[in-house]
Amino acid sequence: MERARFENLAGTWGGDLRRWPEGERAAAERLMQADPAVRAVLDEAAALDALLDRSPTPWPSQALRDRVVAAAPRAGAWSLPWSRTGLAFGAGWAAAACAGVMAGLVLTQSLTADLQADAVLYQASLSGVDDEDLLG
């Protein structure tokens, strides 16, 4: 394990190796044995963990809970947000979009075919000795 990976894991999982993914623990311990200076990274992460553990846990107020519950939809009270007219209108737009895409594909293919044919005819008309570099 490299030091950058160790620092990243310490920043993500904290200073307690028991919280780290199992596959990373052994490599972290080997790195700490090989380079004792990385222990400082783990100590900094542990200090941050202790600070976060001491911080108060915020709890929502009863007024906020009441507002959330009041704003929630009632079970079975919601209906579909579209009507048959809206569904038909949306289907019409979808069909028009598909037709536009297909028209664009057909037009693009025919224009590309014309350009390719022009290029082939131009290359066929070249007859100089130097044209071998162009034609390959």
Indicate if the pLDDT at residue 129 is higher than 60. Answer: no
Judged by average pLDDT, the poorest of 34-43, 47-56, 113-122 is 113-122
Q: What is the pLDDT of residue 75?
A: 62
Q: What is the pLDDT of residue 128?
A: 57
Give the chain's mean pLDDT.
84
Q: What is the pLDDT of residue 90?
A: 85
Encoding tokens for residue 33?
Answer: 């044995």
Indicate if the pLDDT at residue 11 is higher than 60. Answer: yes
Q: What average pLDDT does the segment 105-130 reach? A: 75
Q: Do residues 10 and 42 lie in contact, with contact meaning Cβ atoms separated by under 8 Å?
A: yes
- Could you give the C-alpha distances from 40 to 34, 64, 72, 96, 132, in angstroms and in order? 14, 43, 49, 64, 67
Q: What average pLDDT does the segment 117-123 reach? A: 78
More confident residue, 26 or 109: 26
Encoding tokens for residue 75?
Answer: 């079970």
Report CA 64 to chain centroid distance, whole Å. Answer: 33
40-55 pLDDT, tens digit per residue, is: 999 999 999 999 889 8
Indicate if the pLDDT at residue 134 is higher than 60. Answer: no
More confident residue, 127 or 136: 127
Q: What is the pLDDT of residue 76?
A: 57
Q: What is the CA radius of gyration of the chain?
A: 34
Q: What is the pLDDT of residue 33?
A: 92
